Structure 1
Amino acid sequence: MSIVTSSVSFFSEHPVTLRHRRLLKQFIISLFRSEGKKLQHLNYIFCSDEKILEINKTYLRHDYYTDIITFELQPKGEPVEGDIFISVERVKDNAQQLEQTQTRELHRVIFHGALHLCGYRDKTAKEEKLMRAKEDHYLDKYEKFLRKESK
């Protein structure tokens, strides 16, 4: 029996403000545990609109901007490994449109990518409704976690 050591890494190709990185990494690992998934390794890459458009065209054959692209990298049946690209510019614009803080929107997108790797989809209205409910659940849980840890 092998022991799975989970790890989460953050990389910035575009400036991003990401507070409480250590606590956020711990929380992301706990999200996978809560969803009954084993996490091996997860990379978050914060990038520009142009970079995410290039990735979208190259790998998904989509010619449009998006806030997030998630790549599942592990062989079937193995602990989760993935790369999640997040456009910092899209997150900023989405936060303004949704009248949310940039921090809350950034965390929503971070959890959204993790939820994709846990098997959640958002192609149909029913799937999207469940995804939004899960995002809200983990956003609330993360805010409570931060308050508890900062005491």
Structure 2
Amino acid sequence: METEGAGAEPPEASGGLDVYLEHESLSLREADVRALADRIAAGENVRWHEVGIILGDHALVHDLNREWLGHDWETDVVSFPLDEEARARGVIEGEVYVDLDTAREVAPEVDATFEHEALRYVAHGLLHLVGYDDATDEERAVMRGLEDRYLAG
């Protein structure tokens, strides 16, 4: 029997989450993205509802960063929460744009595989949708710890 109301049902698996491949030659396994999203949803006690993860390239993410955030530089991931009131109830709506080119470039520098680095960006973006920020050193440390936890599975 289903009950209505916040917290009445366990966090939904990644059913409310869609993954879009917008890169010409790089990709991630959708199953890996969904498994990570499921771990985050369970750990943060949220439910993905109308969340899109878009796996793109430098141009896509840079253009969004410039147009919507006013930052004219490349970045690894940008997130756009779409419903703050729903988020307060643990229902997450939004979009995460991941730059797979940056993941490919940075992975050797941090002794990681391309997949691991790209999944770190997915985790980072989803954590932003959940409500975490990384404006201070302390906030960055918290997010990095959560990324590590969820990536470890």
* TM-score normalised by structure 2 residue count: 0.82
Distance in 1, matches of 2:86 and 2:50, equals: 15
* TM-score normalised by structure 1 residue count: 0.83
Structure 2 residue aligned with 1:134: 146
Percent of residue pairs bearing the same amino acid type? 26
What letter corresponds to residue 18 of structure 1 in structure 2? L
**Aligned equivalent of 2:137, options 116, 119, 125:** 125
In structure 1, the gaps of 5 or more residues are 142-151
**Aligned equivalent of 2:61, options 31, 40, 52:** 52
1:23 Cα deviation after fit? 5.2
Partners of 2:58 and 2:101 within 8 A in 1: yes
Counting matched residue pairs gives: 140
1:1-151 correspondence to structure 2 within 5 Å = 1=4, 6-14=15-23, 15-19=25-29, 21-22=30-31, 24-78=33-87, 79-141=91-153
Partners of 1:8 and 1:29 within 8 A in 2: no
Distance in 2, matches of 1:87 and 1:27, equals: 17
1:54 Cα deviation after fit? 1.0
1:114 Cα deviation after fit? 1.1
Residue deviations 1:13-59 (CA, integer Å, cap 9, x gap)? 1132322x235414413411221223212111111111111111110
